[in-house]
């Protein structure tokens, strides 16, 4: 991969990287399309990163469909797909991990210990292998975005982090590879997550600024759906993930499926 990247650079070409774990959907493809517009060469990595999954999480059953992924990427005229094996990324004696402090302390970091250490490590390795000018991430994973931005800043990595808006279904549900786990009844119930964010944005637009009241509305709206169990509903700063802020963030379980979403209340909710 790095040899190919060096050849492109010798030819004066700019490189965009879209890191994914496969099971591609239109959310991923929005990153690819953005990268296609802004770079001469587009590389998509497909790697289900084992070290960002906890012991009781869904690593073994995480959706995988390599043939479909490749067809989608070919259709989008991606220049290269980087698909390393797990033992290539992490040899048996590999002992180095990348830890980003502060921004990883709460919310997803607290709910999923060592998750962001796994994310930071794999992103560092992908950036080293591809050496892109720009790397593309989705706003849906807002805390991951904050972690990557801090990593790139603190380690002086010469890459621009580009953030692409969340792609949503018609009812507002954020696209996620894990949505395939939802039963029809759960899928319908899951729309309450985006509904809570939409209503909080409307309340904010009407003049409400008290983070306690805004958070209470998020929690109350989510509680109306019996199939949804809220893990957290908070307002944080988008860069530091410290409270308070205007980024409304939610994590909830719909049946056995864990979903996350977020929205900056200073902006109108899309749709």
Which sequence positions are flagged as catalytic? 28
What is the arithmetic mean of pLDDT over 8-29? 98
Q: Which residues contact 75 (CB under 8 A, 6 or more apart)?
A: none
Which strands make up the sheet holding 80-82, listed edge to edge?
Answer: 80-82, 41-46, 15-20, 134-138, 160-164
Q: Where in the chain is the domain with CATH 3.40.50.620?
A: 2-164
Q: Which residues contact 265 (CB under 8 A, 6 or more apart)?
A: 200, 201, 204, 214, 235, 246, 247, 248
Q: Where in the chain is the domain with CATH 3.30.1300.10?
A: 177-264
pLDDT at position 74, please?
Answer: 97
Q: Which CATH architecture is the domain 2-164 placed in?
A: 3-Layer(aba) Sandwich (3.40)
Q: Which residues contact 15 (CB under 8 A, 6 or more apart)?
A: 5, 8, 9, 39, 40, 41, 42, 43, 130, 131, 132, 133, 134
pLDDT at 111 over 90: yes
pLDDT at 228 over 90: yes
d(CA 155, CA 82): 23
Q: Compute the mean pLDDT over every residue in the chain, rounded to the nearest whole number.
A: 97
* Cα 124-258-26 angle, rounded to 5 deg: 65
pLDDT at position 56, please?
Answer: 87
What is the arithmetic mean of pLDDT over 19-40? 98
What CATH number does domain 177-264 carry, 3.30.360.10, 3.40.50.2000, 3.30.1300.10, 3.30.450.20?
3.30.1300.10
Tens digit of each residue's pLDDT (9 = 90 or more) over 162-216: 999 999 999 999 999 999 999 999 999 999 999 999 999 999 999 999 999 999 9
pLDDT at 271 over 90: no
């Amino acid at each position: 991969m790095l040899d190919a990247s060096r050849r492109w650079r010798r030819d004066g070409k700019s490189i965009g990287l879209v890191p994914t774990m496969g099971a591609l959907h239109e959310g991923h493809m929005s990153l690819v399309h953005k990268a296609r517009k802004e770079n001469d060469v587009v590389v998509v990595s497909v790697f289900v990163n084992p070290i960002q999954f906890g012991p009781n999480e869904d690593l073994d059953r995480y959706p995988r469909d390599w043939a479909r992924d490749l067809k989608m990427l070919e259709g989008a005229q991606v220049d290269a797909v980087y698909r390393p094996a797990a033992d290539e990324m992490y040899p048996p004696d590999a002992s180095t991990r990348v830890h980003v402090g502060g921004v990883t302390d709460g919310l997803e970091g607290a709910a999923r210990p060592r998750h962001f250490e796994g994310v930071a490590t794999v992103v560092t390795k992908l950036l080293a292998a591809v050496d892109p000018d720009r790397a593309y991430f989705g706003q849906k994973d807002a805390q991951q975005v904050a972690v990557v931005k801090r990593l790139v800043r603190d380690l002086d990595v010469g890459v621009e982090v580009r953030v692409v808006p969340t792609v949503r279904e018609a009812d507002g549900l954020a696209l996620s590879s894990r949505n395939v786990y939802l039963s029809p009844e759960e899928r319908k119930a899951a729309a309450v997550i985006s509904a809570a964010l939409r209503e909080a944005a409307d309340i904010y637009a009407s003049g409400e600024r008290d983070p306690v009241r805004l958070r209470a509305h998020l929690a109350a709206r989510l509680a109306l759906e019996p199939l949804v169990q809220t893990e957290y509903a908070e307002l944080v700063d988008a860069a530091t993930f410290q409270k308070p802020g205007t980024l409304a963030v939610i994590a909830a379980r719909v049946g056995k499926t864990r979903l996350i979403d977020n929205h900056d209340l200073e902006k109108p909710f899309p749709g």
